[in-house]
Amino acid sequence: MRASERAVVLVTLLATLALCTPLVAPAWVGTGPFGLPRALVWVIGWLLAVFVALVVDYRRETGGIGRDRGARGDG
């Protein structure tokens, strides 16, 4: 398993803990930027974290986004 693949797994596990439990309770309370509820910012933050982890691993594996026109059955 590549290091970046392990990072995807780790970020997803952390996101699971962060989104399914009140372990980091202050993150869910109060007002964040632009007047948004901090809970909403928290959820969007984890969405972005998972997105970035996936992008990094995908780039490591394939050389970059936009190189999708490979032969059938690649990988």
Partner 1 sequence: MTTATVALATCGVYLVATLVMGLLPGLRVSRSVAGYVAADRSMDTLVLYFVLGASIFSSFAFLGAPGWAYSRGLAALYVIAYGILGMVPFYFVGPRVRRLGERYGFVTQAELLAHRFDSRPLSVLMALLSLGAFVPYLVLQMQGAGLILSTLTDGRISLAAGAAAAYGVVLVYVLWSGVLGVGWTNTFQGVFMMAIAWFLGLYLPYQLHGGVGPMFDAIRGERPELLMAPGLAADGSSWTWAAFGSSVLVSAIGFTMWPHLFMKAYAARSDRSLRLTVVLYPTFQIFLVPILFIGFAGVVSFPGVEPADSILPHLLVRLEVPALLVGLVCAGALAASMSSGDSILHAAASIVVRDGIRPLSGGGLDDRRERGAIRVAVLVVSLVAYYFAVVSRVDLVALLLAAYGGVAQIMPPVLAALYWPRVPRQAPLAGLAAGIAVNCLFLLRPELKPIAGLHEGVFGLAANVVVLGLVALLSRVDERTAARGGEYLRT
Asked if 69 and 63 count as a contact pair (C-beta separation under 8 A), the reply is no
Which among 45, 42, 50, 47 has a CA at the least distance from the CA of 9?
50
Owner of token pair 């962060």? 18
User: Binding of partner 1 at residue 39 (CB under 8 A)?
Assistant: yes
Binding of partner 1 by 14 (CB under 8 A): no
Contact flag: residue 54 with partner 1 (CB under 8 A): yes
Question: Rule CB under 8 A: which residues touch partner 1?
Answer: 5, 8, 12, 15-16, 19-22, 28-29, 31, 34-37, 39-40, 43-44, 46-48, 50-51, 54-55, 58, 61-62, 65, 67-68, 70-75
